[in-house]
Amino acid sequence: MKTTRRTFLQRLSVAGVGAFSLRTTPLRAQSVLPVGGPIVIATWKNQPGITKAWELLQQGQPALDAIEQGVRVVEANPRDVSVGYGGLPDQSGNVTLDACIMDHEGRAGSVTYLEHIAHPISVARRVMEVTPHVMLSGEGAYQFAREQGFSRQRMLTHEARQAYRNWQREHRQSPEFVEPGTHDTVGMLALDSEGRLAGGCSTSGWAYKIPGRVGDSPIIGAGLYVDNEVGAATATGLGELVMKSLSTFLVVEFMRQGMNPQQACEAALQRILDRYPTEAATNQVGLVALRNDGAVGYAGLQPGFVVTLSQAEQVTAVLPAAAYQP
């Protein structure tokens, strides 16, 4: 049976009864309430990063600084195998990192396929602030980072190296084929007390990807989009689906048209379902939206997507998103 927006929303409303049992109020009601800043929200269980960002926002620091420092905490965590130090490598055994950052003025910076640098989010910020470009890639991004004072670091941890060797043994017969694996992202959005929005994304990408692969995380309009007149959005999950749909740009445009953040996330997921039903049936995409008045929304294609949020009434809470499966 063809999925329509009506059936999509009906199923979400039914699923939401159980999915929001950890919350004091339903997301659908809370998502449309303008709470103002400061507020910070991130994909997945990124409490340490959110805590750092929240501390800076509470001190009156700009959203951009809070985003950079919050994402840096996640990048430095060796137990996170999909971001920064400790990230799983590509098929050649190399850890390659992608990141982007965007501020309330519409400025953006991005790095892709960056090696040997621990904090791609900070390199992306330098691209935004000191170059006329938006994106630097590969060896050029690395040389730029070194010129900006970033130190070279070995990014493959012992645990990641062992996981890679295990993968090699299991895929020795067909190394050219890669199943969708670990490809999650830290995507973080913030609104400060001055009404300034900012966002950032960082990832090591699809585990054991074909060398050269870049996902949605560093792509403005795919992994992240910020428009201070409206709001901001970030994405996680299978980057190929997000890139083909320009999901975060779409979320912000839906909010511009009058949808609240929750409706905008759901409508963008519906776009993916309509255009790529086979891929969407088995792969995760999670979307998070933050409106410029502090209202939030979030949803995922599959069960299990959560966000981490800090605001005045609820500090560093992990909240489940409603999942939709056609």
Which residues belong to the active site?
A: 185
CA 58 to chain centre: 23
Within 10 angstroms of residue 312's Cβ, the number of other Cβ atoms is: 12
Distances (CA, A) of 61 to 55, 66, 274, 312: 9, 7, 41, 16
How many angstroms separate the Cα of 79 from the Cα of each of 82, 94, 127?
9, 17, 28
303 token code pair: 């069960």
CA–CA dist 211, 326 (Å, integer)? 33
CA dihedral 118, 69, 268, 266 (to 10 degrees): 130
Backbone angles phi, psi at 147, to 5 degrees: -65, -30
Dig out the tokens for 22 from the structure.
């950890």
One-letter amino acid of 316: T
